Amino acid sequence: MNDARFRIRFYRTASGRCQACDYARAMDITHQAKAKRWFVALSELGPALPSDYGKHLRGGIWELRVAIGHHQHRFLYAFMRDVVVVTNAFLKRSRRVPDEQIETALKALEDWVARRGWEET
């Protein structure tokens, strides 16, 4: 049943910290389950994921939208060939994704490329 075309990888700093992982672990268990379903869909559909669930923001950064009631969880990511690099996550509280979150994602992606390049094991 796994038709994954894209591998999901979570960005970790040089010291091993994964902000998106920490955010996901802190989510309610039902929210985690829904996020997991959207990550599976993302791995299968990539950029063809419907815009209600995944949307391009700018500079190669996309958002995975996990909406549950009044909770608007966002996971920011980028595509690197057949890899989806999840850079950071947050609870969206305004109409627009804050520029600081996009800048954080861009810096994380830059660090990912500098430390790992295109390689993936």
Residue 60 pLDDT exceeds 80: yes
Residue 116 pLDDT exceeds 90: no
| pLDDT band with cut points at 50, 70 and 90 for residue 70 | confident
Residue 80 pLDDT exceeds 80: yes
Domain ranges of the chain: 7-11+18-116
In tens, the pLDDT along 31-42 reads 999 999 999 999
Q: Which CATH architecture has domain 7-11+18-116?
A: 2-Layer Sandwich (3.30)
Which two three-digit tokens encode residue 64?
């995975």
Cα(90)–Cα(77) distance, integer angstroms: 12
Write the secondary structure of the chain as one string of H (helix), E (strand) and C (coil): CCCCCCEEEECCCCCCCCHHHHHHHHCCHHHHHHHHHHHHHHHHHHHHCCCCCEEEEECCEEEEEEEECCEEEEEEEEEECCEEEEEEEEECCCCCCCHHHHHHHHHHHHHHHHHHCCCCC
Which two three-digit tokens encode residue 55?
């949307």
